[in-house]
Structure 1
Amino acid sequence: MHNFKFALNASTLFPFELDVIEQIRVAAEAGYDGIELWVKDIESYLEKGGSLKTIKEFLKDRGIFVVNAITFFKWSDEDEATRIKGLVEAEKEMTMLKEIGCNAVAAPPSGSMDDLTLETIAEHFSALTTIARRMDMEVYLEFWGKANKLATLSEAMYIAMESGLSDVKFLLDPFHMYTGGSYFTSLAYLNQRNIGIFHVNDYPEYPPKEQITDSERQFPGDGIAPTEQLANYLVEMNYQGYLSLELFIENYGNQSALEVASQGLKKMKQTYLPNK
Structure 2
Amino acid sequence: MFPFRAALNASTLFPYQLGIREQITVAAQAGYDGIEIWMKDLQQYVAGGGSTAELRREAADAGIEIVNAISFIPWADEDEGVRQRANEQTDEELSLLAELGCPSFAAPPFGDVAGASLDDIAVRFAALAELCRNHGVAPVLEFWGRAPKLSRLSEAAYVAMQSRVADATLLLDPFHMYTGGSSLADLDFLSGGRIGIVHANDYPEQPPRETIGDDDRLFPGDGIAPSGDFAQRLHQLGYRGFLSLELFLKDVGGRSALELARHGLDKMRIAYSV
Give the structure-2-normalised TM-score.
0.98
| Aligned mates of 1:3, 1:84 — CA distance in 2 | 41
- Number of matched pairs: 274
**Is 1:183 matched with 2:179?**
no
Partner of 2:233: 233
Secondary structure of 1:210's counterpart equals coil
Pairing 1:242-257 to 2, within 5 Å after superposition: 242-257=242-257
**Equivalent residues of 2:94, 2:132 under 8 A apart:** yes
Question: How high is the TM-score relative to the length of structure 1?
Answer: 0.97
What SS does the corresponding residue of 1:221 show, helix, strand or coil?
coil
2:203 corresponds to: 203
Q: Which residue of 2 aligns with 1:152?
A: 152
Instruction: Assess if the C-alpha contact under 8 Å between 2:220 and 2:268 holds in 1.
Output: yes
Instruction: Name the structure 2 match of 1:266.
Output: 266
Where do residues 120-199 of structure 1 align in structure 2 (5 Å cutoff)? 120-199=120-199
Once the two structures are aligned, what percentage of the paired residues are identical?
A: 50
* Contact 2:2–2:272, Cα closer than 8 Å, also in 1: no
Hey, what does 2:19 align to over in structure 1? 19
Q: Give deviations 1:34-77, integer Å, cap 9, x for gaps.
A: 00000101111222232212211211210111100001011111
Deviation (angstroms), 1:164? 1.4
Deviation at 1:91, TM superposition (A): 1.7
Amino acid at match of 1:6: A
Check the 8 A contact 1:2/1:235 in 2, yes or no. no
Distance in 1 between residues matched to 2:246 and 2:128, nearest whole Å: 24
- Per mean C-alpha deviation after superposition, the further-off stretch among 50-59 and 93-102 is 50-59
Instruction: For residue 136 of structure 1, report the CA deviation from its aligned partner.
Output: 1.8
Contact conserved, 2:228 with 2:273, CA < 8 A, in 1? Answer: no
Amino acid at match of 2:10: A
2:116 aligned residue: 116
Please list every run of 5 or more consecutive structure 2 residues that lacks an aligned counterpart in the other structure.
Answer: none
1:45-84 maps to which residues of 2 (within 5 A)? 45-84=45-84
Long gaps (5+) in structure 1? none
Structure 2 contact 97–137 (Cα < 8 Å) conserved: no
In structure 2, distance between residues paired with 1:173 and 1:228 = 14
Q: Which amino acid aligns with 1:135?
A: H
